[in-house]
């Protein structure tokens, strides 16, 4: 199992603690938040690796490149550039991950299954929120707190194979949305469908040791 630690640093810093879509609009506040969280999360997830030369050099270089790519994102707000930029970040994470996979697995206090679990949880919640913003399903400034929370619960329960809790989550979120919003939205269907579908895929990938 590959410890996707570098990809977790990227997704957590750029999606969980800042609005990634606003970075593409050159929102200075969001850029500053992303830069700060990139450094803080990199330190938090790799503090034990920083005591070694290999860890210090690799994490420092990766963090510096992420900072540069964050500024580069504001080059264009078009969907094509958005996709290309995110693929560049994915490729960068893999470039650092694959050669160091064995070393990270034996030196990091975060074991590969837990790292990949956290990565899946991050993607299911905040990364999909950003995709929904970019493709017009929710407003670009929306925090999507309801949807993110729903997908977090669904991810946890699907990964634990707790189907009754999956059912309770779906029913509970429908009731909650009806009480709060009254007016039906297509996101009532899209969010849980994405949450369950992605969680099942991630469960399969982790059990097959493909990630």
pLDDT of 16: 92
Query: How many helices (DSSP H) and strands (DSSP E) are in the chain?
Result: 10, 0
Query: Tell me: the pLDDT tens digits for 81-109?
Result: 888 999 999 999 999 999 999 999 999 99
What is the average per-residue pLDDT within 15-31? 90
Q: What is the pLDDT of residue 4?
A: 94
Whether the pTM exceeds 0.85: the reply is yes
Per-residue model confidence (pLDDT) at position 209: 85
Instruction: Assess contact for 1 and 210: CB atoms under 8 A.
Output: no
Residue 142 has a pLDDT of 87
Domain boundaries, the chain: 1-108
Average pLDDT over residues 71-86: 84
User: In the prediction, which pLDDT does 11 show?
Assistant: 94
Q: How far apart are CA 99 and CA 95, in angstroms?
A: 7
Q: Which of 23, 19, 46, 202 is nearest to 126 (CA)?
A: 19
Average pLDDT taken over every residue of the chain: 93
Q: Which of 14-28, 45-59, 155-169 has the lowest mean pLDDT?
A: 14-28
Angle ∠(9,49,208) on CA atoms, nearest 5: 60
pLDDT(77) > 80: no
């Amino acid at each position: 199992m590959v410890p996707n630690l570098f990809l977790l640093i990227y997704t957590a810093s750029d999606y969980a603690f800042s609005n990634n879509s606003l970075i593409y609009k050159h929102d200075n506040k969001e850029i500053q938040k992303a830069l700060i969280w990139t450094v803080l999360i990199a330190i938090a997830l790799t503090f034990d690796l920083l005591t070694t030369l290999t860890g210090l050099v690799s994490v420092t270089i990766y963090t510096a490149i992420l900072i540069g790519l964050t500024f580069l994102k504001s080059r264009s707000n078009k969907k094509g550039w958005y996709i290309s930029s995110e693929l560049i970040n994915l490729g960068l994470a893999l470039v650092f991950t694959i050669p160091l996979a064995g070393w990270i697995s034996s030196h990091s206090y975060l074991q590969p299954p837990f790292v990949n679990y956290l990565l899946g949880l991050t993607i299911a919640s905040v990364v999909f929120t950003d995709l929904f913003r970019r493709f017009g399903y929710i407003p670009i400034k929306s925090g999507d707190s309801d949807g993110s929370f729903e997908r977090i619960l669904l991810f946890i329960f699907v990964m634990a194979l707790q189907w009754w809790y999956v059912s309770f989550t779906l029913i509970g979120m429908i009731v909650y949305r009806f009480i709060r919003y009254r007016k039906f939205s297509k996101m009532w269907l899209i969010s849980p469908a994405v949450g369950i579908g992605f969680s099942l895929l991630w469960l399969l990938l982790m059990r097959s040791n493909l990630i």
